[in-house]
Amino acid sequence: MASRYCRKLLNMAREKHDFTGCLFDFKMNAEPVLISACLLGIPCRWHGRRPKQREKLIERLKKKYVLIPVCPEQLGGMPTPRTGERLDGSGADVLDGRLRIIAPETGQDVTRFHVNGAKYTLEIANIVGAQRAYLKSGSPSCDREGVAGENLKRGGIKVIRVP
């Protein structure tokens, strides 16, 4: 139901606006997919530097999908730049309360930021009707085994790891 509503809104927007030259090619009935915002070149990674953009991947995906950028860490309330956490376990361990994520530089428990970001990421996927997500590997949140990646999988979203 929500997916049909989102498509109706997208179609109404297409009728009123010219999207020529946009980052995303809006095609009628194109499936929405989530993508880690950093893969688009947005400087949202932990260190705040602009990451390498995956141009070939993005061009291939744009032909088939409407790309919805997400950064679970920012959605969860973390700033950029931020501490550089590592996941010493799995996202499942974090979501199930068996593992806490501690910032190595400060000793602060940042688990709630990752869990909240994972929840908001899944909420966005549900709002736009995304059935898959292309997420950056090596991230404590975005990786397929990270907190957001695991939460998306639990929500029925196919997660594709991007190196």
Question: pLDDT tens digits for 46-94?
Answer: 998 877 778 899 999 999 999 999 999 999 999 999 999 999 999 999 9
Phi (first) and psi of residue 72, to 5 degrees: -55, -35
Domain assignment of residue 123, given as a range: 2-162
Helices and strands, counts by H and E, the chain: 6, 4
Domain count, the chain: 1
| Tens-place pLDDT, residues 91-145 | 999 999 999 999 999 999 999 999 999 999 999 999 999 999 999 999 999 999 9
Q: What is the Cα–Cα distance from 77 to 63, expressed in whole angstroms?
A: 32
Helix 111-128 to helix 147-154 angle (10° resolution) is 40
Cα 124 → chain centroid: 9
pLDDT at 40: 92
Phi (first) and psi of residue 9, to 5 degrees: -65, -45
- Structural contact between residues 133 and 35, judged by C-beta atoms closer than 8 angstroms: yes
Pairing status of strand 31-36 against strand 132-136: parallel
